[in-house]
Amino acid sequence: MSTRIASIASNTFREAVRDRVLYNLIAFALLMSGAAILVGQLSIGIERLVVINLGLTAISLFGVVIAIFIGIGLVSKEIEKRTLYTVLSRPVQRWEFIVGKFLGLAGTLVVNTFFMAVGVFAALYYVSRHFQMADGWLLVALYFIILQFLVITALALLFSAFSTPVESAVFAFLLFVIGSFAQDLRGFAAMAHGATRWLATGAAYLVPNFSSLNVISSVAHEQPVAGSLILSNTAYALLYTGMALCGAVLIFERRNLK
Amino acid sequence: MNPSRRITLTASALLVVCMLSSALVLRLADQMRPAAPLQEVLYISSPKVLKRLSLGYDGLLADVYWTRVVQYFGSKHYAGARDYDLLAPLLEITTALDPRMTVAYEFGANFLAPKPPDGAGMPQQAIQLAEFGIRNNPNEWRLYYDLGFIYYMDLQDYKNAADAFERGSRVPNAHPWLKLMAALMAEHAGEIQTSRMLWTTTYETTPDQNVRANAAAHLRALQVDEDVTSLEALVSRYREKTGHLPDSFPDLQAAGMLRGVPTDPLGKAYKLAADGHVEVRDPDDLPFIQKGAPPGYVPPLKPKFLPSD
């Protein structure tokens, strides 16, 4: 079982590399070097802040875009090219196919994030000329960004299991936007009454809470991240990812592929 | 040359020509179009709306807005503007997006408070900004220092200045001078030595080169003001003693009132005018002086700082 999942995952990774997904690293490198050199001339006193804010925001947004646009095609592309039938004609379960695809794309995003993180640290060293203990919190922010990718990849895969690529992209992107407003949604629920309150509370817990996974601004100001937050965010992201993947497997298991 | 190669070359040449021409035409259009109205527009003025629109990436948006503040103030300051309508709202948005960006409070308050042409002449907004910064960063002693500085320099409100320095002195790891400042405000608020101490603290504690240059220029200006005051007092005493004004500083030397020809902080000799006033030789090199400038002197829009600052 694990060998079959690993094979699907490694093929997904290789396909993403063949699709020139990692070319975004060039754009990222240009962005970081440009920011590191130019911002000192354009602004005052925020060279370090800009490198961290811009670097981590770019890693997050580039990753979200890759997760959505590759994730939505993971199933539909295989059906369109009819390669799915070849895979499923072998002793491969449908759920193994979904999990393998998920792990392949998650692996691509982790590798991509690793190279981008190296770029951020290099730019940080260029503007500060030294590293400090507080820079270690950037690793926590990067870890949260990877957790965010896991959730979005699983959601993209979920939508990809039952709708067209365009619809999947729209759904996944809208959930990303709504998820970024999750705290506001909770605030709205707290102010509402009656059925509206129940509906708003339900919606607030149903959509992914991306705002708690975003600590970019805090780590840019060298603020520590509580260990309890790291634990709860890890548990939340893994549970939500598991939930979305289970949904994807359930739909895909029942999908008529003829 | 085969047809395919000819087409490639022609298309490449046309592409380059079109690209260069479009850039040229755009440049001409930019010159024809008035630029000012574009600068004075704040498309989204609500910090709350902007924070929500940032989708959680508010730190980066704050950096963008802070850069906009610097560019806005810098360009208007350079053009000698007296109205800075967007400065306060831009700073409000920046600090609402990232309340921990202390650099925005420190520089922002110093952009807002001084009278034009040195700043926007909005000390009340500068105080609001500094107080907002203190509420969000209560352990940053520099913010209390900036607040006291504005009260002292721009509003001559020594009581509130003393209060701000005193509050700052209670912050952990605060600069020890804050306590001294609070005491000085109570006893010697209006004196030149107090101003000198404030600028010296700024000069010694700031990590920023531009702020240090500004503080150095203010310290030189204070020195000139003090020199001119005491030299003109000597001239008055000479007049009382002899019944006429001295022709030059050697007259004062001959009367035993001076040891040599006095020089300004840049090492240039002061001039003694025929009416008994003391003047500096190059007022452009000594921005912010209150005394010693020739009659009718108009200071340049951009204060001149020395490379050695």
Q: Is the pLDDT of residue A257 over 60?
A: yes
Q: Is the pLDDT of residue B35 over 70?
A: no
Q: Are residues B128 and B48 in the same domain?
A: yes
Report the alpha-carbon distance of residue B126 to residue B75 in Å, rounded: 20
Burial environment of residue B190 by CB neighbours within 10 A (0 to 12, 13 to 18, 19 or more): exposed
Report the alpha-carbon distance of residue B203 to residue B195 in Å, rounded: 12
Burial environment of residue B104 by CB neighbours within 10 A (0 to 12, 13 to 18, 19 or more): buried
Substitution target in B51, B55, B211 with the highest count of A β-carbons within 10 Å is: B55
Of B165, B163, B83, B91, the residue nearest B117 (C-alpha): B83
Which pLDDT score, from 0 to 100, does residue A147 have? 96
Q: Of A58-62, A204-208, B21-25, which has the strongest mean pLDDT?
A: A58-62
In chain A, what residues touch B74 (CB-CB under 8 Å)? Answer: none
Given pLDDT bands bounded at 50, 70 and 90, which one contains residue B111? very high
- Rounded to two decimals, the pTM is 0.74
Contact A43 B57 (CB under 8 A): no
Q: Are residues B118 and B33 in the same domain?
A: yes
**Number of A–B residue contacts, CB under 8 Å:** 65
CB A185 within 8 A of CB B52: no
Q: Which domain does A83 fall in, by range? A: 2-254
Q: Are residues B105 and B68 in the same domain?
A: yes
Is the ipTM here above 0.90? no
In chain A, what residues touch B137 (CB-CB under 8 Å)? Answer: none
Q: What percent of chain A clears pLDDT 90, i.e. is strictly above it?
A: 36
Note whether A45 contacts B: Cβ–Cβ < 8 A.
Answer: yes
CB A75 within 8 A of CB A253: no
Domain-located, residue B8:
no
Burial environment of residue B245 by CB neighbours within 10 A (0 to 12, 13 to 18, 19 or more): middle
* Residue at a domain's end among B188, B205, B222: B205
The domain tally of chain B equals: 3
Report the alpha-carbon distance of residue A41 to residue A44 in Å, rounded: 8
Q: Is the pLDDT of residue A117 over 90?
A: yes
* Residue at a domain's end among B137, B169, B193: B137
The domain tally of chain A equals: 1
Q: Is the pLDDT of residue B22 over 90?
A: no
Q: Is the pLDDT of residue B30 over 70?
A: no
One-letter amino acid at A16 equals: A
Lowest mean pLDDT among A35-44, B84-93, B105-114, B147-156: A35-44
Of A234, A235, A237, A11, the residue nearest A103 (C-alpha): A11
Contact B66 A210 (CB under 8 A): no
Substitution target in B48, B60, B94, B100 with the highest count of A β-carbons within 10 Å is: B60
Given pLDDT bands bounded at 50, 70 and 90, which one contains residue B188? low
Which pLDDT score, from 0 to 100, does residue B134 have? 96
Distance between A207 CA and the closest CA of chain B, angstroms:
15
DSSP for A85-137 reads: HHHHHSS--HHHHHHHHHHHHHHHHHHHHHHHHHHHHHHHHHHHSS--GGGGH
Note whether A248 contacts B: Cβ–Cβ < 8 A.
Answer: no
Which pLDDT score, from 0 to 100, does residue B301 have? 63
Note whether B59 contacts A: Cβ–Cβ < 8 A.
Answer: yes
CB B227 within 8 A of CB B258: no
- The beta-carbon neighbor of B63 closest among A53, A210, A214 is A53
Note whether B58 contacts A: Cβ–Cβ < 8 A.
Answer: yes
Residue with tokens 């022709």: B247
Which pLDDT score, from 0 to 100, does residue A94 have? 87
Minimal-distance CA residue of chain A relative to B64: A50
- Kindly report the number of other CB atoms within 10 A of residue B118's CB atom: 17
Which pLDDT score, from 0 to 100, does residue B18 have? 82
The 10s digit of each residue's pLDDT in B196-246 is 887 888 788 877 777 788 888 888 988 998 899 999 999 999 998 888 889
Q: Which domain does B272 fall in, by range? A: 214-285
Higher pLDDT, B133 or B71: B133
Given pLDDT bands bounded at 50, 70 and 90, which one contains residue A23? confident
Q: Are residues B166 and B262 in the same domain?
A: no
Helices (H), chain A: 2-18, 24-42, 47-71, 73-80, 83-89, 94-128, 137-160, 165-180, 182-191, 194-206, 216-220, 227-254
Q: Which stretches of chain B are assigned E, i.e. beta strand?
A: 271-272, 278-279
Minimal-distance CA residue of chain A relative to B100: A221
Chain B 186-245, residues with CB within 8 Å of chain A CB atoms: 208, 210
Contact A177 B208 (CB under 8 A): no
CB A241 within 8 A of CB A154: yes
Contacts of residue B263, Cβ cutoff 8 Å, sequence gap at least 6: B269, B270
Which pLDDT score, from 0 to 100, does residue A35 have? 79
- The beta-carbon neighbor of B59 closest among A39, A42, A217 is A217
Report the alpha-carbon distance of residue A145 to residue A61 in Å, rounded: 10
Q: What percent of chain A clears pLDDT 70, i.e. is strictly above it?
A: 98
Whole-number mean pLDDT of chain A?
87
Which pLDDT score, from 0 to 100, does residue B4 have? 75
Q: Are residues B152 and B252 in the same domain?
A: no
Report the alpha-carbon distance of residue B5 to residue B9 in Å, rounded: 6
Q: Is the pLDDT of residue B71 over 50?
A: yes
The 10s digit of each residue's pLDDT in A161-176 is 888 889 999 999 999 9
Q: Is the pLDDT of residue A1 over 50?
A: yes
Higher pLDDT, A119 or B299: A119
CB A83 within 8 A of CB A15: no
Which pLDDT score, from 0 to 100, does residue B34 have? 54
